[in-house]
Amino acid sequence: MFGMMMDYPLTVTAIMRHAQKVHWNREIASVTVDNPGQHYSYGVAFRRVNQLGNALRELGVKKGDRIGTLAWNDHRHFELYFAVASMGAVCQTINPKLFPEQLVYIINHAEDQWLFVDPLLVPLVEKLQPQLQKVKGYIVLTDQAHMPDNTLNKPYCYETLLAEESIHCRWPELDESDAAGLCYTSGTTGDPKGVLYSHRSMVLHSMMAALPDVMGIGSHTVLMPMVPMFHVNAWGSIHAAAMTGAKLVLPGPKMLDGETLTRLINHHKVSYSLGVPTIWNALIDYLQNSGERIVSLKSVVVGGAACSETLMTALESYGVTVHPGWGMTETSPLGVYNSPMPGSEVLEPEQRRKQQLKAGRAIFGVELKIEDSAGNELPWDGVSAGELKVRGPWVASSYFRMEGLDDHFENGWFDTGDVATIDKHGYLSITDRSKDMIKSGGEWISSIDLENSALGHEAVAEAAAIGIHHPRWGERPLLVVVLKAGVKANGKDVLDYLRDKVASWQLPDACEIVEELPHTATGKVSKKTLRQQFAGYQLPG
């Protein structure tokens, strides 16, 4: 016997209609090149989305077409999120920080029909244009007064396109399984891989993200996503904000500028934000050097890389509660989130801190398991480390147009490539990426543990540990660090600091001080590049 409920499709269009009718007077503030103080209501935003939908139809956009965006966090990118998906097309957000050859690969592999481009990124696209095989034309995200001179083929001005269209749009009826968004991985181990999100997966992910024990986003929230909108749909925060009526503050291109972030937080009374450690470090550096304060910001998500105790303590000193989280492009991205468990307030301070630094517990809809190399499931005891596998309604089942990589998806589970432990309460701890673990004398050493320990040193700004060939032990760890500005220290100082922080056999054999570490386009340290830089390195002794 089946239930007798309506078969109502879960679509991005449904989020839009709800926000338009229920949250029409809530505000979206935005920073753009042509207007650093732009703001309007959800009601006005979605009237413009209607105009954009009509413009897309005039351009010949059809269901299933991929539409690329090279843009920052601003109101026009917000409009694209909803108009493209509601048209039945696929919004492909592209990371402009990728290498040019990766950008060309992604745009051609996706077969993007049109590219929407921020004016600051027009020079980049002009260089790529001769290699882009399927792109029919380019829409520059600005008004006519700020339209840059360019050599693009078929360039359009975004605001001019919208001005010619009606504020009413007949949106097509869509199946909730239709594709809505496309994001590519950063390609650290080969070509970037495309992950194709459905309307259903986006809606369910947004609903779960907004839950009180997860992000807790609601109409009371003033949300400023400092994770880029081209990075896994801003971790689902944009759709969750529209769904719940949160005020949105979109900070534009200067998300690594601590002064700009501080000004926006204080002006708009931002209460909640999301970002990678690099962004939070930039904010903390500015606050410490300027003496300014942030009062309204109460909670932040730290994701994309592990949150160090040093960073957590620094943010807490400004009254900010830190929530680590874990996810991937393949998980939309939210998989686990660290909210305090009932009873955690009575834990000893050291125990509570260890729990706070873990990645978190699975949110409803995501299942986790860890397996040994033989495929045996391991217990949730907080000690047994194994390969992390996940499944759920917003977890990828395959890669877009890359059938040869199906070995990542076996028996309904996605193999994340992470090594992890899970404790009896369900708290996940990422030990390392499997490819970054250092195997020394038959024992595994976690590069993440070494890095987090090194970040506790007062002089260390960034740290990365890699394995270096050793004739006896197979591999030994090399620690590579960047010092804080104006602070002096040497490798011996850092190693001496670590002696009572890690086991003696885990202590790096050497520590090198460098000006900067190589990073991927998503802000993570590129261990692949670092290993290339130190190929042939001779360890002491």
Residue 188's pLDDT is: 61
Q: Of 50, 106, 336, which Cα lies nearest the Cα of 230?
A: 106
- Rounded to an integer, what distance in angstroms lies between the CA atom of residue 210 and that of residue 240? 6
Q: Partners of 468 in the beta sheet? A: 476
Residue position matching structure tokens 């992890």: 420
Residue 406's pLDDT is: 73
Contact between 291 and 259 under an 8 Å Cβ cutoff? The reply is no
Residue 323's pLDDT is: 98
**Coil vs helix vs strand at 252:** strand
CA-based torsion, 254, 258, 261, 267: positive or negative: negative
User: In one letter, which amino acid is 35?
Assistant: N
Q: Of 476, 473, 457, 456, which Cα lies nearest the Cα of 465?
A: 476
- Rounded to an integer, what distance in angstroms lies between the CA atom of residue 248 and that of residue 225? 8
Contact between 66 and 96 under an 8 Å Cβ cutoff? The reply is no
**Coil vs helix vs strand at 162:** helix
Query: 38-41 and 27-30: which strand pairing?
Result: antiparallel
Residue 187's pLDDT is: 66
Contact between 246 and 26 under an 8 Å Cβ cutoff? The reply is yes
Contact between 390 and 417 under an 8 Å Cβ cutoff? The reply is no
Q: Of 250, 252, 254, which Cα lies nearest the Cα of 273?
A: 250
pLDDT block averages, 10 residues each, the chain of length 541: 96 98 98 95 99 99 99 99 99 94 96 98 98 97 98 97 98 98 82 96 98 97 98 98 99 93 98 95 95 98 91 97 97 97 89 96 98 96 96 98 82 94 96 86 86 93 94 92 93 95 92 94 86 92 75
Residue 139's pLDDT is: 99
Residue 539's pLDDT is: 93
Residue 189's pLDDT is: 61
Contact between 185 and 197 under an 8 Å Cβ cutoff? The reply is no
**What's the CA angle centered on 388, arms 425 and 303, to 5 degrees?**
75
Q: Which residues are catalytic?
A: 185, 330, 439, 444
* Ranges assigned E (strand) in 31-157: 38-41, 66-70, 90-93, 112-117, 137-140, 155-157
Contact between 329 and 194 under an 8 Å Cβ cutoff? The reply is no
Q: Is the peptide bond before 253 cis (omega within 30 degrees of 0)?
A: no
Domains observed in the chain:
7-198+234-242 (3.40.50.12780), 437-533 (3.30.300.30)
